[in-house]
Structure 1
Amino acid sequence: MSWRDGAGSIVVFHNNDVALIQDKLSLIPNYLITQMRLFFRHLYTFGICCLLCLPLQAKEYRIGFLAYRGEAQGRAEWQPVLDGLNRALPAHVFSGVFLTQQQLDRALADQQLDFVVTNPAHYVLNRSQGLNWLASYLDPRFGSARESVAATLLIRADSGISTLRQLHGLRIGAVHEQAFGGYLLVAEQLRRRGVTMANMDLQFRGYPVDALVYLLRDGALDAAMVPACTLEQMAEEGLVNPADFSALMLQARTPCVRSTPLYPGWSFAAVNNQDETLLRDITRALLAEAHQGKPLWGAPIRLDEVEQLLRGWQLNTEQKPPLHVLRTVLLGYWQWLAGLMLVLLVIGLHHVRVTRLLLKRTDERDRLHSLIQSREQELTRARQATLLGEMATGLAHELNQPLSAIKAYAQAGELMTTEASSQEVLQHIVEETERGADIIRRFRQWASQPLPGPETFEPAALCRELSGRVMPRANAAGVRIELETEEGSLFCVLPAVEQIVSNLLGNSLDAFERRGQGGWLRLQAGRTEAGWHIYVQDNAGGVSSVVIEALGHTLPASRIHGMGIGLMVSYRLARRLGGALTLLNVNQGTQAELFLPKEQ
């Protein structure tokens, strides 16, 4: 037999070889079947091994139990619950930790627990930790989840205490101020009976609660607040003799001696667990557990009366840390808070803008007000200057003619007479008329033009000259002139100072002449650190108060002390010199003070 291969070569087989090849080909199906059977057998074995290894890889869950009598007693009481859960849910591992109430609080805060078994008050106080109540414990001694927790106020049987009033001042023991099955329930009953806790020596001794019974038995305490059935359990364990103790506020007969009504029992709660399938399986397993044919767990019950009791003690059942509350509010209402902050920001910016505008307008108003006042003062001064100018012009026009006539007559008389005495008198008349005309000319100049430049002069010399000038008139009126001066120099406008002092002396002499009675006239000049003071004082009867009040405002309205016009001009001149002129009545006369500053 021949056969051409893929390369084109011819292969020759003998008959024996062909038979051998046919036998080999017939064995191929049996070989494949055998190999497939071995593959599936190994796959089945591998699957069984994986299923057997699953419990080894199951997640472990920690359950925290409130062990108010200590860890050993708590483990003995609740270990059957752990064993039942591990049997019912073999895919998971449940382990228990047995802690006091404070240790449970810390473990919950540190997120170290997955489940917790505790009394209803502790459950309510820790609701903020995300507790989810799965089932309520049916205490076999009471047979009800709604009525299975109470407390007992124990005393020694031989203490002689029979009423609550006898507890005042005695040592009362409790484990903790938030212990529900002890302090809170007993203290609530005492409060309802009008017994004040402040009158007792209350001592919180901590866990376990068995220690309170021992301290009471040994006389270290006079009474103890313990959970109901604690005494009976310790008696069953042979730890104490129940005949050594008695109870106050004894309630109706129950399996255990108690001093308070019955409240809802313990609960099994999940801690922040979102696996609903696991929670459902655990709840089903708990409800299936039984003791002596009776169920140990029931459906969760309401805790309204427990919450009401805690509110009565002002324990906030919804209390949360401030930072937690703030975080919750910020996360839940951040849109509203952002909008509110935006509105407040807009209002604040608007308030700042309005305040700045108001301040700007206020400053502008003050500036305009000051400008208006300045313009009004300038207008008043201009009006007064105009009035003085008109007066000075009128006076100059009216007085120039008689002065010119007097001068002409005096000069004519001087030419007509040959006597030396008469010529001297007429010469004085001519000089005085010329001085009067010069004064009038200066009045007109000062009313409308700036003052002449200052110069240095001696006030004492000026006073002596002016007193000598008015001496003949003073002698004729019977007035004695007193001169008191101080040596020194003053840099000022001499004609203005001369005019002011001359006007003051003339006013005083006018007053003496009107009264028709002599007196004295004092002229003083003295120097201080600020400047010079020139006083003109007389005893001519004084000046009207109307003149003093009107000085510096308008023309004086009185003619009692001279015409008043010269006084007005003198006041204005003193102001223009940088000084001041004051007038007042003293010692049945008048004192005028002229102050001239040292620096002009």
Structure 2
Amino acid sequence: MIWNKLLWPLVLAALLAQAPARADDFDIGFLAFRGEARAREEWSPLLDSLHQALPGHRFEGHFLTQRQLDRRLAEGSLDFVVTNPAHFVLNRGQGLNWLASWLDPRFGSARESVAGSLWVHADSGITHPEQLTGRRVGAIHDQAFGGYLLVAEQLRRQGLDPARWQMQFAGYPADALLYLLRDGALSGAMLPACVLESMVAEGLVARAEFRALMVQSESPCVRSTPLYPGWSFAAVGQVDEGLLRSLTRALLDQEQDGRPLWGAPIRLDEVERLLAGWQLGPGATPPLQLLRQVLVRHWQWLAAAGLVLLALVLHHVRVSRLLRRRTRERDRLHGLIQHKEQELARARQATLLGEMATGLAHELNQPLSAIQAYAQAGELVTEEARSREAFGQISRETERGAAIIRRFRQWATQPLPGPAAFEPAALCQALCERLGPRAEAGQVRLCCDTEPGEAYGVAPAVEQILTNLLGNSLDAYRRQQRAGTLRLGLSRADGGWCYVVEDSAGGVEQGVLDALGQSLPASRVHGLGIGLLVSYRLAQRLGGRLRLENTGWGTRAELFLPEEA
């Protein structure tokens, strides 16, 4: 019991003595872009001076990469951090409080002490950044301020796009990039200024093996970019204000060769603008993040607008489908109406033609019958042989005329008879022989120019068309009271036969040509009347075509009929 009473006060006193010591331990994170060993060597004098200025506190240095620093800051395991200005801006949300700015002895200014350099091998022959297009270029990482960000920004200002290079982010330490460049693994390297000079001074590389591009200055270090604010010593989170004042005073009192090493905090507007241009930092929201914020903040209105837009799209689709369907239906009905109108017009013309054919047949049959009766009576009462032969010829021709009228009436009102094989040349010769006396009486020379061959069609219909055309020409010569030549030509054409009737009787009025195939001719020039219309209709029913045109001296009628008409 006595020993217990003596032991507990001693243990309690020891615990009370140790508690303040743990409370005075502080962790400082240093950005070690050249590796832990080199950073420890560089920043150990700072830790020693802090221990001397603040003997009641102990400061432990942690030399980390940028990602390691980010992780330690997120965990809250650091009390202070020494890093470049871009890293400070990127982590300002961690509650960083800038205490002092590093005055690099090589530059001597807190506002101008960080730059970047673009290096290539001295023997590469590359003298301009444009020559690195498509080649492998190394950097520490895509947010390295002194290397990639500063050099890439300078390239962009010169109108060059580093995305056209094959970027390789090798990570820390930065020294490895120079080794890769020296050994030919890289065509170029983006590094913080003064890294190469430091490695040359340490005997790690030879300066003659490298050449800088976009050089802006070579003193005190070669740099390819303008100078930006230097490193910062910042407190993390809530730190005792008394300690902050003492620590800041100790930093500002540090000197080297009579020159201060730390200065007052400065504004980082230029750094923030650079980061915003690269969509980094708190002032630059990435597009996807900005879109997400807008969606989260205004999702009700956006959803309503989306529903309205969807309704409009569906309505548009429905209306378009209805419009297309009704348009197709309209076009179908329009085509049907046109077809019916054409059929009706043909029916009216056929009816008119049938009525006229019936009337003409009735009117012509009576005089033909009378002529035949008189011819037969004359043949009976006369005894002279030549007269009997003449009366017999008149009787035969009247019988043939009556047959033509019957066929004409049949063709105008009923389907054509069936086709059969015939020789077009023989048909043309027979026509010329039959119309020869009539042509001689009118002092017209009838020429027949044919080719041998065989066709398949309705020969009487072809004969009727040619008879009408030749008769019209002879009538035209008679009305003009002039002599001339009438030619009937026959030749093979592509896929059929071509019949040509040419005269020199003066031509046809244009109105008759325009009305052909549409209505009855309005006038009867050259004897053109219902016979021409019948010929045109017959040619169509035979699957051919009849074309009439004026030449310089008369009329040319061209009838084309297929092989099987």
* TM more than 0.5: yes
Cα distance in 2, alignment partners of residues 562 and 485 from structure 1: 26
Q: Kindly provide the CA deviation profile for residues 566-591 of structure 1, in whole angstroms up to 9, marking residues without a partner as x.
A: 01110011001110011123351222
Cα distance in 2, alignment partners of residues 408 and 86 from structure 1: 160
Q: TM-score, normalised by structure 2?
A: 0.66
**What SS is found at the alignment partner of 1:289?**
helix
Q: Once the 2 structures are TM-superposed, how far is the Cα of residue 108 of structure 1 from its aligned partner?
A: 3.9
Aligned to 1:132: 95
Cα distance in 1, alignment partners of residues 351 and 245 from structure 2: 117
Equivalent residues of 1:464, 1:483 under 8 A apart: yes
Q: Does 1:397 align with 2:373?
A: no
Q: Once the 2 structures are TM-superposed, how far is the Cα of residue 541 of structure 1 from its aligned partner?
A: 2.5
Aligned to 1:9: none
Structure 1 residues 52-63: aligned runs within 5 Å: 63=29
Q: Once the 2 structures are TM-superposed, how far is the Cα of residue 417 of structure 1 from its aligned partner?
A: 1.7
Aligned to 2:546: 581
Aligned to 2:30: 64
Aligned to 2:418: 453
Cα distance in 2, alignment partners of residues 131 and 498 from structure 1: 110
Aligned to 1:286: 244
Aligned to 1:197: none
Q: Kindly provide the CA deviation profile for residues 352-390 of structure 1, in whole angstroms up to 9, marking residues without a partner as x.
A: 333332322222222222212212211221122122123
**What SS is found at the alignment partner of 2:95?**
strand
**What SS is found at the alignment partner of 2:482?**
coil
Aligned to 2:232: 266
Structure 1 residues 192-591: aligned runs within 5 Å: 206-208=192-194, 211=197, 223-224=217-218, 266=232, 268=234, 270=236, 279-281=237-239, 285-289=243-247, 291=249, 303=267, 305-306=269-270, 310=274, 318-319=283-284, 341-586=306-551, 588-591=553-556
Equivalent residues of 1:479, 1:521 under 8 A apart: yes
Cα distance in 2, alignment partners of residues 109 and 45 from structure 1: 38
Q: Kindly provide the CA deviation profile for residues 75-110 of structure 1, in whole angstroms up to 9, marking residues without a partner as x.
A: 42256669999976x9xx964226xxxx53785499
1:137–1:554 Cα change, 3 Å:
same
Q: How many residues align?
A: 467
Equivalent residues of 1:584, 1:592 under 8 A apart: yes
1:139–1:425 Cα change, 3 Å:
closer
Equivalent residues of 1:117, 1:269 under 8 A apart: no
Structure 1 residues 182-193: aligned runs within 5 Å: none
Cα distance in 2, alignment partners of residues 60 and 294 from structure 1: 19
Equivalent residues of 1:526, 1:533 under 8 A apart: yes
Q: Once the 2 structures are TM-superposed, how far is the Cα of residue 470 of structure 1 from its aligned partner?
A: 0.9
Cα distance in 1, alignment partners of residues 438 and 6 from structure 2: 159
1:518–1:374 Cα change, 3 Å:
same
Q: Kindly provide the CA deviation profile for residues 368-416 of structure 1, in whole angstroms up to 9, marking residues without a partner as x.
A: 2221221221122112212212322332233222222222222222222
Q: Once the 2 structures are TM-superposed, how far is the Cα of residue 437 of structure 1 from its aligned partner?
A: 2.4
The code of the aligned residue for 1:569 comes to V
Query: What runs of 5+ residues in structure 1 fail to find an aligned partner?
Result: 1-33, 142-146, 154-175, 188-202, 228-258, 271-278
Q: Kindly provide the CA deviation profile for residues 451-495 of structure 1, in whole angstroms up to 9, marking residues without a partner as x.
A: 222122211221122111111111111122222222222221222
Q: Does 1:597 align with 2:555?
A: no
**What SS is found at the alignment partner of 1:525?**
strand
1:538–1:294 Cα change, 3 Å:
closer
**What SS is found at the alignment partner of 2:527?**
coil
Equivalent residues of 2:503, 2:556 under 8 A apart: yes
1:355–1:46 Cα change, 3 Å:
farther
Q: Once the 2 structures are TM-superposed, how far is the Cα of residue 504 of structure 1 from its aligned partner?
A: 0.8
Q: Once the 2 structures are TM-superposed, how far is the Cα of residue 39 of structure 1 from its aligned partner?
A: 12
CA radius of gyration, larger in: 1
Aligned-residue CA RMSD (Å): 5.2
Q: Does 1:76 align with 2:45?
A: yes
More moved, 74-83 vs 432-441: 74-83
Cα distance in 2, alignment partners of residues 576 and 109 from structure 1: 96
| Aligned partner (choices 149, 159, 163) of residue 110 of structure 2 | 149
1:43–1:491 Cα change, 3 Å:
farther
1:447–1:137 Cα change, 3 Å:
same
Aligned to 2:184: none
Aligned to 1:254: none
**What SS is found at the alignment partner of 1:488?**
coil
1:80–1:489 Cα change, 3 Å:
same
Structure 1 residues 8-87: aligned runs within 5 Å: 63-65=29-31, 71=39, 72-77=41-46
Equivalent residues of 2:450, 2:489 under 8 A apart: yes
1:452–1:139 Cα change, 3 Å:
closer
Q: Once the 2 structures are TM-superposed, how far is the Cα of residue 302 of structure 1 from its aligned partner?
A: 8.5
The code of the aligned residue for 1:403 comes to L
Q: Once the 2 structures are TM-superposed, how far is the Cα of residue 226 of structure 1 from its aligned partner?
A: 6.3
More moved, 503-512 vs 63-72: 63-72
Cα distance in 2, alignment partners of residues 419 and 51 from structure 1: 176
Equivalent residues of 1:138, 1:265 under 8 A apart: yes
Q: Does 1:104 align with 2:69?
A: no
Cα distance in 2, alignment partners of residues 428 and 64 from structure 1: 137
Cα distance in 2, alignment partners of residues 82 and 330 from structure 1: 52
Equivalent residues of 1:385, 1:448 under 8 A apart: yes
Cα distance in 2, alignment partners of residues 289 and 110 from structure 1: 21
The code of the aligned residue for 1:149 comes to A
Equivalent residues of 1:548, 1:584 under 8 A apart: yes
Query: What runs of 5+ residues in structure 2 fail to find an aligned partner?
Result: 115-142, 155-188, 202-206, 255-261
Cα distance in 1, alignment partners of residues 516 and 315 from structure 2: 53
Equivalent residues of 2:102, 2:233 under 8 A apart: no
1:490–1:138 Cα change, 3 Å:
closer
Equivalent residues of 2:512, 2:523 under 8 A apart: yes
Cα distance in 1, alignment partners of residues 503 and 457 from structure 2: 26
